[in-house]
Amino acid sequence: MLGDVRVRSRAGFETERRGSHPYIDFRIFHSNSEIEVSVSARNVRRLLSFQRYLRSSRFFRGITVPNSSNILDDDYNGQAKCMLEKVGNWNFDIFLFDRLTNGNSLVSLTFHLFNLHGLIEHFQLDTMKLRRFLVMVQEDYHSQNPYHNAVHAADVTQAMHCYLKEPKLSKSLTPWDVLLSLIAAATHDLDHPGVNQPFLIKTNHYLATLYKNTSVLENHHWRSAVGLLRESGLFAHMSLENRQLMESQIGDLILATDISQQNEYLSMFRSHLDRGDLCLENPNHRHFILQMALKCADICNPCRTWELSKQWSEKVTEEFFHQGDIEKKYHLGVSPLCDRQTETIANIQIGFMTYLVEPLFGEWARFSNTRLSQTMLGHLGLNKASWKGMQREQSGSGDDVDPTFEEMDSDILPQEPRLS
């Protein structure tokens, strides 16, 4: 029953289907867990699951939910709606919004953005199918993950919305472009297991073999998203050709978030800007800019206010350290940035900002030199200074930046180290 079941695709690949993999108790990643799991290193891969089949949606269990037509909890409905009126503000507090929506930030925010951008009317979407799709997406994120969960997806989706509003983009993008962008943002880390690609490779997980150790997580996020799109029937009224095009282009966007390909995308972006040949009337150029926008949204946490950025930094470091703990426990060799005995949040953050965030957002500001771009760079500078202050307190020196980011090559760089 729990075999390797997949849905055959007429688009030329097999989607990852919900409920097709063994269940993992993710509490083994938490140091304070009371559960002891007896397993050897060679069997760790059997524990990893990418589908939480035990947590089926209430829609599929047939449970009637009072006032199910309302996304937001009645007690907080007014406050959450007030926040959505400012969804385009860069200081939007996704943690507060998640609390006000009783943990339904991804569903509530994405549904609102679909309506705000006129996508429901333009594409003649069935609102119940849309909600069903978004609920499935939200539930296929692992709430046990400190960082790679539905709140992170909602945060990235909100950031993507801010970028779509930028003058250069807003006057050039088509409804199709906006649709792809929001779906890709909401699903870009779908079913993330809370461990990185090197972990999957060294534990011989079948997904690493399936995707030949290349963009393993990103490929899985994409195929999982396609599986939910088909299962929901959200675009069943579209032609097969358009559905296949949508699936392919969503894949292009999600695959661009592979951090090991950062230099390649950044080099192309820089070359376009140096030549001044970007033409947003060209669909290929627009698609490339959307890829860069999603990359920015994915690692924009250091560009948020200190209050928000610091929370994200602590969450992603916690997730890294949990991976390191289990690697130690099963003698797998601790991955870079995952050893809580040798790493600090400050060192990791400063390295992340220096080698990944600053170069990307510097080029984005060249492309779109707006108030938002300057605000993001301003927060980035202030946040980096704050981490350096903490680093000096911890080490007595301001020059102890973790060299890991600079020295490691792309095949061992932690996949999607959304470190902030």
The residues carrying an active-site annotation are 148
Half-sphere exposure of 2 (CA within 13 A, CB side): 11
**Annotated binding residue at 98?**
no
The owner of tokens 């983009």 is: 169
Is 252 annotated to bind a ligand? Reply is no
Give the CA dihedral 392, 396, 397, 403, nearest 10 degrees.
-80
Alpha-carbon gap, residue 315 to 318, rounded angstroms: 5
Residue type at 261? Q
Per-residue tokens: 40:
């050897």
Q: Is 149 annotated as a binding residue?
A: yes
The full DSSP string for 328-349 is HHTT--PPTT--TTT--HHHHH
155 is in an annotated binding site: no
Q: Is 137 annotated as a binding residue?
A: no
Q: Are 361 and 330 in contact (CB under 8 A)?
A: no
Q: How many CA atoms lie within 13 A of 350 on its CB side?
A: 19
216-232 and 127-139 helices, crossing angle to 10° = 150
Q: Using CA atoms, how far apart are residues 226 and 83, in angstroms rounded to an integer? A: 30
272 is in an annotated binding site: no
Query: Minimal CA–CA distance to 193: which of 230, 233, 224, 171?
Result: 224
Backbone angles phi, psi at 7, to 5 degrees: -100, 125
The verdict on whether residue 73 carries a ligand-binding annotation is no
Tokens representing residue 262 in the block: 């950062």
Beta carbons of 52 and 140 less than 8 angstroms apart = yes
- 261 marked as binding residue: no
State the Cα–Cα distance between residues 23 and 2, nearest whole angstrom: 9
State the Cα–Cα distance between residues 419 and 399, nearest whole angstrom. Answer: 20
How far apart CA 132 and CA 231 sit, in angstroms, is 10
**Any binding-site annotation on 41?**
no
Locate 363 and state its tokens: 């080029």
Residues contacting residue 60 through CB under 8 Å, at least 6 positions apart: none
Residue ranges at the known binding site for AMP: 148-152, 189, 298, 349
Residue ranges at the known binding site for Zn(2+): 152, 188-189, 298
Residue ranges at the known binding site: 148-152, 188-189, 298, 349
